[in-house]
Amino acid sequence: MSVPAIHAAEIKILELVENLGTYLTSTEKNIRCRGTRLLSEVLNRLPKNFLSSDEVRALVIFYCDRLSDHYSVTPHTLLGMLALSTYDNLPKGCEVQLVQAIYKEVHVQSMIQVDRRSVYAILSNLLDTRIKDLQSLGRDFVFGYIQCMDGEKDPRNLTMIFRCVPIIIHNFPIDVFIEELFEVVSCYFPIDFTPPPNDPYKVTQEELVLGLRKCLAATPKFAEHCLPLLMEKLSSDVQRAKIDSFLTLAECCEVYGEDDLMEFLPAMWSTIRREVFQAFSHEVEKSALTCLCSIVKTLSNAVSNANKAAGGLDEFLDLVLKDCSKHLRDPGLRLMLPTSKLLQSAASASDPACYKIISAVVPILLEQFHKCKQVNERVSLLHAALDFIKVCKSFTFGDDTPSPVIPFKDSLASLFLSLLSDHSSQLRCIGITGLVGLMSLNAIMNINEKKLAAMHFTNIVLTDQDNKVCSEAVTALAFMSMEFSLLVKEEVLPQLIKELDSRATGTRHRFIVNTLAGISMHSDIVLTTIPVMLQHLGTLSEDNTAESLETAVNTIQSIDIVVNSNISDEQCLDFFHSKLLPQLLRITVDQALQVNNYILCKEDVVSSIATVCRNIAKVLDDRVASNLVSNTISLFLDGNLENIGLKQSSQHFRPLEISSPWQHTQLVSLLTSIICSMKTFELSSQCLELMEKLLKLSLSSEHHLTCVSAAKCYAGLVNKHKQGTDLDSSLETVVESTCRMLQDEISDQNIYNRQKALTLWLWVTKALVLRAHFKSTQFTTKLISLFEDHQLSQMAADGFYIILSESQDVLNKDMHCDIKLMYRQRLFMQTLPRILAGFEKANEDKKQYYLSALSHLLQFIPKQVLLSELPPLMPMLVQSLYCQDVGLYVSTSDTLSMLIQDAPTVISLYVDTLLPQLLTLSTYQQSMKVRIAALKCIGLFVTLPTHVIYPRQKEVVRRLASVLDDRKRLVRQQAVTARGLWFLLEAPKK
């Protein structure tokens, strides 16, 4: 009751102290402990700004005096002092009192961990908030802190200590205690700590390592003590110690400076060189290279900061080059790769280092290249040269310090150009990459040289027979289109367009079109390539061959690649919606009006064009989108062809009329891609008319693509329709029309109509479920009832996959669909009781449809939701393994694999039923996926309690032996793993 009373001002904190007087002054230490603990708990629960300065001062005096009490009272006293150290109104001078009292009265290392942590937390709080006042203690604070932390072993406390030590070093005089402070810190290096499993404190080795590293690198005054320690640890046989030592040395170098490093440079280089050359561990090698880079950077900074001659830097680099050059000249090139890594790491540290190393290394590499005749050796040398060129990209060289590559530019450019005609595809690829590398360096290649390179790249694209080389050339042209768009537009595009116009076919055509798409990385290029591809698409309009169909689809897909790559560019986006989208509509509508079966009327072509339209429409702003919606509705409702640049035809365009040809009606997929991609908009009377026609079209059309597209479009509009009477009326119409068709007599003549009705029902259900509409329950209930339908049961069960999965062409987040949080969980909780009840009542031949629907539900819900509902689901999951359904087998096995790890207690109850059937499925010959999923699940069973599964060990090992001879390698591999786990299973200990 104390804290509420103090909050309500019914009692003052000092009055509480007075009322506790008999407890705080009792001769019994246990009573004093309880009184002090109560007061401390109250202080910890009060707001940090609640007490006045005078009250805080009085409490500080009280607690400082209380520290001289019996040692059993000290932990409770420290708890109160910890609360006071966080108070906003802690008076000036009180922080000093708290620290002095702790240093004088508390022997920290004789206390338990939680009490030691209280001390460190008090000091940490005061360092964070009152460091200026604590500085008056000077050396006394440093000495006291050293005594407090000396011998600390608990990692939870060390994380706090390592955070505070750099603060102390930077803000207090430590000169007198340099060696002592270093000793108490460095004794922890290197950190050797492995957190226990399920550690609630989450203290990691990495956290401790980084904290200690900051301490050692906090001041250059540690250099004389730290560098010998690090050099000693670098010779350790423990890999983790080496890595930590290299990375700590790298961080210390930047703080210590050149003068402190000079004495150790030869030894450091020798150690780094040894580790990189031996390369027993990638991590050790990486840390050694990081250390080398840091050393060179420190030596370079010393030159620039002191404005003095680069004596130390030159001496060190000369040493590095002397040791490395001989390996570059080695005829066998045995140490080429590690030597290159060392030199590149040193060169990447600074401008001077880069200049010196590149100037020394490139001539050697060129010389060796001309000496070597083997392709592999040449490849190694060239890769090294390319890596050195990449290093130069990190620095900006000016007139005073030109790029070190310039003296060798002609030699390198000539070499790379000559490689473009080499018989080896590897060398041709390197030649392309090398020219791109030179072009990426500022002011290296002039415009004529770039033109020459572009011509060579284009020639490779058009003539080279190696796909990898061609792909490399396309990548190079894409780079040039971003950096030198005008050059590509003038020199490259005309040749590619000429090749495209030559009616290249098959694979060659695909590659040319893909190349045009790949180099369209700048608005200048895009505005040229898109019209070319559209014109090319138009030339295919009267063909009707399979090859032309493939060509048309590939061209549209390439247009889509260009759109997706440049959609964020404002100029390109304006071109896409004002030029490209109307042109695509014009091409498709024009072909549809001719009522033929040419390729531009094929379903694949129409679907591909719809994808392009969708990707453009979904990113438009509200103003542009509104105009596009208006024009699109006018086109599809009224047949207004002028909006897309076509003249009114004698053949009326009425794609939403049931009587129209399928060439017209299938274009509803284009309407869907545009209308349903927009952000939420006001539905006008035209839109309501549109929904009415879409409903009729989806239920009455005899063309499959038309029916599905109309259903999706209707569902997309339902999802974005504002709640109200219009939406309710539309849904009532759907229910009435669809249910009437679903209730038709079950016959072969009616099956197609009933499937159309169910398709619409599924998509409208998805639209309602996503937006959490109250009528979604009515629609899902009807869907579950269709599990008993002889014709539609499987389709209805699979409908749950449609509802829960992420649709690519409608009703998704990218298309600004109305999606409520946790809609999948909500659907699961709504439908699960009905599915369970239906399963219990269903005949044996209908049960599999309930199981199939359940498997789709389980596929998409979070694990936590499934675990909460698991017990009643287990009988159905077991039953799923006995149904003749491949998809059900796989999904159930995957679900069980997850449950074995997350709900072992529940799974243990069904081991006798599950294991035999999974072993049977491990030999299920109709599907490899079923066998693999079953074997994975069997392997995970060994994680269950041993006493549950050990009695079945011999049977499992015996039955899995036959699976080891499966005809599929992946199955055999999984069988070996599962059988090995069971074979190694140990008997439970008695």
Does position 402 have pLDDT exceeding 80, yes or no?
no
Q: What is the pLDDT of residue 373?
A: 84
- Cα gap 804→825, rounded to integer Å: 10
- How buried is 309 (Cβ within 10 angstroms: 0-12 exposed, 13-18 middle, 19+ buried)? exposed
- pLDDT average, residue stretch 108-135: 92
Residue 62, both tokens: 């009280």
- Cα gap 330→238, rounded to integer Å: 32
Confidence band, pLDDT 50/70/90 cuts, at residue 194: confident
- Cα gap 461→464, rounded to integer Å: 6
- Contact at 8 Å (CB) between 625 and 816? no
- pLDDT average, residue stretch 841-851: 87
3-state secondary structure of 684: coil
Does position 305 have pLDDT exceeding 60, yes or no?
no
Does position 573 have pLDDT exceeding 60, yes or no?
yes
- Cα gap 104→144, rounded to integer Å: 9
Does position 529 have pLDDT exceeding 70, yes or no?
yes
- Contact at 8 Å (CB) between 956 and 911? no
Of 12-16, 891-895, 913-917, 930-934, the range with the lowest mean pLDDT is 12-16
pLDDT digits (tens, 9 = 90+) for 676-706: 888 755 556 677 888 999 999 999 999 999 9
Does position 446 have pLDDT exceeding 50, yes or no?
yes
Confidence band, pLDDT 50/70/90 cuts, at residue 459: very high
- pLDDT average, residue stretch 889-912: 89
The type of residue at 551 is: T
User: How would you classify residue 131: left for phi > 0, otherwise alpha for psi between -120 and 50, otherwise beta?
Assistant: alpha
- pLDDT average, residue stretch 242-248: 93
Does position 8 have pLDDT exceeding 70, yes or no?
no
Q: What is the pLDDT of residue 602?
A: 86
Of 130-139, 553-562, 651-660, 783-792, the range with the lowest mean pLDDT is 651-660
Of 614-618, 867-871, 970-974, the range with the lowest mean pLDDT is 867-871
Q: What is the pLDDT of residue 10?
A: 56
- Cα gap 834→819, rounded to integer Å: 24
- pLDDT average, residue stretch 36-56: 85
Contacts of 637 by beta carbon, 8 Å cutoff, 6+ apart: 656, 686, 689, 690, 693
How many C-beta atoms surround the C-beta of residue 594 within 10 A?
15
Per-residue buried b or exposed e for 429-449, using 16+ beta carbons within 10 Å of the residue's own CB:
bbbbbbbbbbbebeebbeeeb
- Cα gap 981→342, rounded to integer Å: 44
- Cα gap 410→449, rounded to integer Å: 10
Pairwise pLDDT comparison (781 vs 19), residue with the higher score: 781
- Cα gap 556→616, rounded to integer Å: 14
Does position 980 have pLDDT exceeding 70, yes or no?
yes
Does position 609 have pLDDT exceeding 50, yes or no?
yes
Does position 73 have pLDDT exceeding 90, yes or no?
no
Per-residue buried b or exposed e for 158-194, using 16+ beta carbons within 10 Å of the residue's own CB:
bbbbbbbbbebbeebebeebeeebbebbbebbbbeee
Q: What is the pLDDT of residue 433?
A: 93
- pLDDT average, residue stretch 223-252: 92
The long-range contacts involving 772-780, CB below 8 angstroms and separated by at least 24 positions, are 772/820, 772/823, 772/826, 773/723, 775/731, 776/827, 776/830, 777/830, 778/735, 780/827, 780/830, 780/831, 780/834
Nearest residue to 855 via CA among 917, 925, 794: 794
pLDDT digits (tens, 9 = 90+) for 365-391: 999 888 888 888 888 889 999 999 998
For residue 197, whether the previous peptide bond is cis, meaning omega lies within 30 degrees of 0, is no
Q: What is the pLDDT of residue 1?
A: 44
Does position 492 have pLDDT exceeding 70, yes or no?
yes
- Cα gap 162→140, rounded to integer Å: 19
- Cα gap 215→581, rounded to integer Å: 62
Q: What is the pLDDT of residue 988?
A: 65
Does position 334 have pLDDT exceeding 80, yes or no?
no
Q: ∠ CA 794-799-804 to the nearest 5 degrees?
A: 145
Does position 505 have pLDDT exceeding 80, yes or no?
no
Does position 479 have pLDDT exceeding 70, yes or no?
yes
- pLDDT average, residue stretch 107-112: 90
Q: How far is CA 259 from the centre of its chain?
A: 44
- Cα gap 560→572, rounded to integer Å: 13
Q: What is the pLDDT of residue 796?
A: 93
- pLDDT average, residue stretch 517-523: 91
